[in-house]
Structure 1
Amino acid sequence: MNGISKNYKLLRIRLCTLYSLVFFTASLLVTCRSGDKTGLVICWNDNRATGLVIPERYVVSIAPNSLSRLLSVRRQGVETAIAGQFQRSDEGMLFEPLVPFTRGLVYELWLRNKRLSEIEIPALADSDRPFLKGIYPSADTLPENLLKVYLQFSRPMREGQSLRYVTLLKNGTDTLSGTFLDLQPELWDADRTMLTLWLDPGRIKRNLHPNQQLGAPLQAGTTYRLVVSGEWPDAQGATLGKTLSKTFVTDARDGVSPDPMQWSMNHPPPGTSQPLVITFPEPLDYSLLLETFRIRREDSTLVSGTWRTSFDEEKIVFSSAKPWLAGNYTLRIESRLEDLAGNNLNRPFDRDITQNKSDTTFQVYKEKRFQIR
């Protein structure tokens, strides 16, 4: 009889314990669903959400060597855990993501397969968002063997993920894949604000295997739309917020190198600060236009000033820092300057490399002389 009584008491204790656990779990789930304060704290560094402090109550029962295996932080609606590391801090458990959290998104804390809590990273005001300043080339008609596209942003963007946010549509409906090279690291400028996207050169150059197998990335007489997603975050985690696009039509292939002798140039009057404008018969590469021009006086003194492109990259404008002096000048252009198809001043991009002929015409730069009088 005493044995039965002891077993009955033990059963009551177990049932009470089980009931308490069920009640605690249900309470926790209700709290998460109701949106009450969770105690999660965002860590900020240079206006970026770089960490998340998790209260001790969420992790007290987890062995330190099991944290990375059992506990995870996920973007809401995504099953994959965010890459990062957990470490103990004075306030609790600190999670530091490999890249900062994205502004305006909701992140969830998971223990095994159970969601414990969530927190939203505050979005920036529209005035604080990055924006896309330009898509180059600017022209609406481009050669079918277009080699590069430039995206110019207002501030540094998150790197290594560009092809997630850039889409090319053909005739408004067909999404093209494999058009741009997935280069890692990506080709950002020194300020990390301009990205160069290369169309696959192996598909552009005729008689190469990728071209014969897959065809050229673009076809003449076709309408394309380049779409840049508003979800693209900058280095601080703030997204563009607005999806932008550029529509263009492709024309025939361009297989001829630019010829500086065919460029026209105005001659500002001496004693003035009027700009010098150089006009080309075709658009040239946006980025290289800003890097490859120099002007020197007859005594080889470099003329200081600023360059800017104009008229869909069919013009470049030089504003001298000082009024023009009368005399002879030399415009020096680095031969690496290209047109939109990658043809530089020395040779076409798509040339027959099977012919082992020495290139006796190669020059590091080309020159044009002019007078201010």
Structure 2
Amino acid sequence: MTLPSCLHRLGWLVLSGTLCLTQAAELRVNEVGQIEVQGGDVRVFRGDAATPMFGTVSKERDAVRFAPALPFVPGERYRVEFQKTDGSWSTQRLRIELPKAEAPTAAMLPSDTPFPANALKFYLHFSQPMEQGVFLDRISLHRLDGSVVQGAFRETELWSPDGKRLTLWLHPGRQKTGVNLNTDEGPVLQEGETYTLKLAANWRSAAGVPLGQKYTFWITAGAVDHACPEPQRWKVTAPKRSTRDPLHLLFDEALDPAMLNSALHVRSGDQAVKGVIHVATDARSWSLIPAAEWPPGRYEIVIDPLLEDLAGNNLLGPFEVDRDQPAQPAQVTLLRFEIGE
């Protein structure tokens, strides 16, 4: 087997974290995806580096195994030097192939709902963990005439622990009235205007696979919102007893979709109702599918007072608070419903 025909198998092998060379008549790939060659020792270099990579060399029967201290990098070239049985050294250059993987996909939340002109943030969701540290080079906000809204985003990059959700903050210095940037440059969003958020096709997943297509999301700016959410205006649709029908909440405005996953809890007496939460893509409704059937009785929906709408107003007060006014104490808000006999 020739070296070029080994590269795809090598890509699989290297991604598993070990490069192996074993004594054999000629270079080949064995049945478990290892590179085999006659030799007595091995050194591995990254690219044209003069210093070998850190790692562990071990022998197992006739095998010589090199395990790198850090994983091999897909797309990188390596130089492998191995010792022949006559004591001389031979060199082979290898390129680690990228693993075959599907291109990631992207979605924006909330979607299909107007944003208040003083909106603070929204979220990008990806199907795979994404490349980090580059988001300002991969996104742009455009007006309908095609011009770019400069300085639209806060430079802080906030990813979820799994690397699949990016919180995009519109620059708060421009979105909050009365501060210098808002006065000098104006808000990012203007009431009544429509914008497009564009993601570059070359934004890669953590595995190195690009999106492969440009994503465009539409944003319509509505009136500014300085009012706190009012749970008393929400509509509760109670499920039927002895079913696993969802408990449904309909809001009078879109709320922060990420916070909705943890800000609402249902209980019966002292017992929490466990189940699966679903938040609508427009962030205007929430539902809970219980893990077990609903028994009849009285229930409470416990609402975290820090739950925000899209403009950052929460149950304790508006985002643009009067600093001269005393802070409101945190209070838990309850919505009650009953499932009859």
Q: What TM bracket, shorter-length normalisation? A: 0.7 to 0.9
Deviation at 1:177, TM superposition (A): 2.3
Change in CA separation of 1:169 and 1:47 when aligned onto 2, cut-off 3 Å: farther
Partner SS, residue 174 of structure 1? coil
Q: 1:267 to 1:40 in 2, by over 3 A?
A: closer
* 1:292 and 2:292 aligned: no
Q: CA deviation at 1:368?
A: 1.0
Mapping for residues 226-245 of structure 1, pairs under 5 Å: 226-245=197-216
Note the alpha carbon deviations across 1:47-80, whole angstroms, 9 max, x for none.
49999xxxxxxxxxxxxxxxxxxx989xxxxxxx
Instruction: Give the counterpart of 2:126 among 143, 147, 153.
Output: 153
Aligned residue number for residue 175 of structure 1: 148
Shift of 1:267: 1.3
Structure 1 residue runs without a partner (length 5+): 1-36, 52-70, 74-84, 108-117
Cross-structure match for 1:65: none
Letter in 1 for 2:313: N
Between the aligned residues of both structures, percent identity stands at 31
Shift, 1:180, TM fit: 0.8
Corresponding residue of 1:81: none
Describe the superposition over 1:134-175 as per-residue Cα deviations: whole angstroms up to 9, x where unpaired. Answer: 201212421111111201111211111111111111114111
CA contact (8 A) 2:11 2:97 kept: no
Indicate how the Cα distance of structure 1 residues 325 and 203 shifts in structure 2: closer, same or farther if over 3 A, else same: same
Corresponding position of 1:280: 251
Whole-angstrom CA distance in 1 between matches of 2:309 and 2:128: 27
Query: 1:246 pairs with 194, 217, 224, which one?
Result: 217
Quick one: distance in 2 between partners of 1:329 and 1:171?
Answer: 48
Kindly provide the amino acid, as one letter, of the partner of residue 326 in structure 2. S
How far apart in 2 are the matches of 1:138 and 1:100? 37
Q: In the alignment, what sits opposite 1:87?
A: 51
Structure 1 residue identity aligned to 2:301: L
- Is it true that 1:359 corresponds to 2:323 in the alignment? no
Q: 335, 338, 341: which is aligned to 1:371?
A: 338
Cα offset for 1:99?
11
State the 1:211 CA deviation.
1.3
- Provide the rounded CA distance (Å) in 2 between the counterparts of 1:335 and 1:86: 59
Aligned residues: 287
Q: Which of 323, 334, 353 is the matching residue for 2:293? A: 323
Stretch of structure 1 that moved more, 285-294 or 243-252: 243-252
TM-score by length of 2: 0.73
Is residue 14–residue 96 contact of structure 2 (8 Å, CA) maintained in 1?
Answer: no
Pairing partner for 1:223 from 194, 198, 202: 194
| Bigger helix share | 1
CA displacement at 1:369 relative to structure 2: 1.3
On the 8 A contact 1:225/1:246 being kept in 2, the answer is: yes
Instruction: Report the CA distance between 1:87 and its aligned residue.
Output: 3.2
Rounded Cα–Cα distance in structure 2 between residues aligned with 1:289 and 1:45: 42
Q: 1:309 to 1:98 in 2, by over 3 A?
A: same
Contact 2:139 2:199 in 1 (8 A): yes
Query: Is 1:189 aligned with 2:160?
Result: yes
Native 8 Å contact 1:333 1:365 kept in 2: yes
Match of 1:342 among 312, 319, 336: 312
C-alpha spacing 1:121/1:227, structure 2 compared with 1 (3 Å): farther
- Are the structure 2 counterparts of residues 207 and 49 from structure 1 closer, same or farther at C-alpha, using a change threshold of 3 Å? farther
| Structure 2: gaps of 5 or more residues | 20-45, 58-67, 78-92
Shift of residue 98, structure 1, vs aligned partner = 11
Per-residue deviation at 1:372? 1.0
Partner of 1:313: 283
Higher Rg: 1
Structure 1 ranges of 4+ moved more than 3 A? 39-51, 95-101, 118-125
Asked if the contact 2:300/2:336 (under 8 Å) is kept, the reply is yes
Q: Does the 8 Å CA contact 1:48/1:100 hold for their aligned counterparts?
A: no
